[in-house]
Chain A
Amino acid sequence: MTSMHHEPEERPADWPSEWPSEWLRAVLELCVLRILADGPTYGYEIATRLADEGLGTVKGGTLYPLLQRFEQSGRVEVDWRPGDGGPGRKYYLLTDAGRADLAARRAHWHQFVATTADILTPQEETP
Chain B
Amino acid sequence: MTRSRSTDARSVEETLAPHVDREWAGDFIVELRLHGVAGDDIGAALAEVDSHCAESGEPAGEAFGDAGEYARSLGLPETEEQATAAVLRRTLPTLVQLAGMLAVITAAPEIAAGQAMSVTAGALVSALVLVAVVLALGLWPEKTLGALAGPRWKAAVAAPLSLALIVAPTILLRQELLAAPAGPSLAAGAVVVLAGVLWDLVLVRREARDPEQDMLLTPWDGAVERDRRRRSIAWAERFRLLMIPAGTAVMAAVLLLFG
Distance in Å from the Cβ of B242 to the closest Cβ of chain A? 38
Distance in Å from the Cβ of B155 to the closest Cβ of chain A? 27
**A64 touching B48, Cβ below 8 Å:** yes
Segment at the interface with B among A8-16, A17-25, A80-88, A116-124: A80-88
Distance in Å from the Cβ of B51 to the closest Cβ of chain A? 5
**How far, in whole Å, are A69 and B44 apart by their CA atoms in the complex?**
15
Distance in Å from the Cβ of B174 to the closest Cβ of chain A? 55
Q: Write out the residue numbers on chain A whose beta carbons fall within 8 Å of the beta carbon of B58.
A: 60
Q: Write out the residue numbers on chain B whose beta carbons fall within 8 Å of the beta carbon of A69.
A: 75
**A44 touching B73, Cβ below 8 Å:** no
Most central of B47, B52, B69, B220 by chain A CB within 10 Å: B52
**How far, in whole Å, are A80 and B47 apart by their CA atoms in the complex?**
10
**A60 touching B49, Cβ below 8 Å:** yes
**B74 touching A68, Cβ below 8 Å:** yes
| Residue of A with least CB distance to B50 | A87
Q: Write out the residue numbers on chain A whose beta carbons fall within 8 Å of the beta carbon of B63.
A: 59-61
**B65 touching A64, Cβ below 8 Å:** no
**A90 touching B47, Cβ below 8 Å:** yes
- B212 located at the interface, meaning its Cβ lies under 8 Å from any Cβ of chain A in the complex: no
**B51 touching A83, Cβ below 8 Å:** yes
Interface residue total, chain A, C-beta cutoff 8 A: 19
**How far, in whole Å, are A35 and B212 apart by their CA atoms in the complex?**
36
| Residue of A with least CB distance to B77 | A72
Q: Write out the residue numbers on chain B whose beta carbons fall within 8 Å of the beta carbon of A59.
A: 63-65
Q: Write out the residue numbers on chain A whose beta carbons fall within 8 Å of the beta carbon of B69.
A: 61
- B90 located at the interface, meaning its Cβ lies under 8 Å from any Cβ of chain A in the complex: no
**A80 touching B70, Cβ below 8 Å:** no
**B75 touching A60, Cβ below 8 Å:** no
**A44 touching B55, Cβ below 8 Å:** yes
- B184 located at the interface, meaning its Cβ lies under 8 Å from any Cβ of chain A in the complex: no
| Residue of B with least CB distance to A81 | B219
- B54 located at the interface, meaning its Cβ lies under 8 Å from any Cβ of chain A in the complex: yes
**B48 touching A90, Cβ below 8 Å:** yes
Answer whether A80 and B219 are a contact pair too, CB < 8 Å, given A65-B73, A68-B74.
yes
Q: Write out the residue numbers on chain A whose beta carbons fall within 8 Å of the beta carbon of B44.
A: 80, 90
Write the A71-96 contact mask toward B (1 if CB under 8 angstroms, else 0): 01000000010010011111000000
**B64 touching A60, Cβ below 8 Å:** yes
Answer whether A44 and B52 are a contact pair too, CB < 8 Å, given A87-B19, A88-B220, A90-B47.
yes
**How far, in whole Å, are A68 and B18 apart by their CA atoms in the complex?**
22
Q: Write out the residue numbers on chain B whose beta carbons fall within 8 Å of the beta carbon of A83.
A: 51, 54-55
**How far, in whole Å, are A10 and B65 apart by their CA atoms in the complex?**
33
Q: Write out the residue numbers on chain B whose beta carbons fall within 8 Å of the beta carbon of A72.
A: 75
**A61 touching B54, Cβ below 8 Å:** no
**B51 touching A61, Cβ below 8 Å:** no
- B56 located at the interface, meaning its Cβ lies under 8 Å from any Cβ of chain A in the complex: yes
**How far, in whole Å, are A87 and B73 apart by their CA atoms in the complex?**
23
What are the 6 tightest A-B residue pairs by CB atom distance, in nearest-first order? Answer: A60-B63, A80-B219, A61-B65, A44-B55, A65-B73, A61-B64
21 examples of A-B residue contacts, CB within 8 angstroms: A43-B48, A44-B52, A44-B55, A44-B56, A60-B52, A61-B63, A61-B65, A64-B70, A64-B74, A65-B70, A65-B74, A68-B74, A68-B75, A83-B55, A86-B55, A87-B47, A87-B50, A88-B219, A88-B220, A90-B44, A90-B48
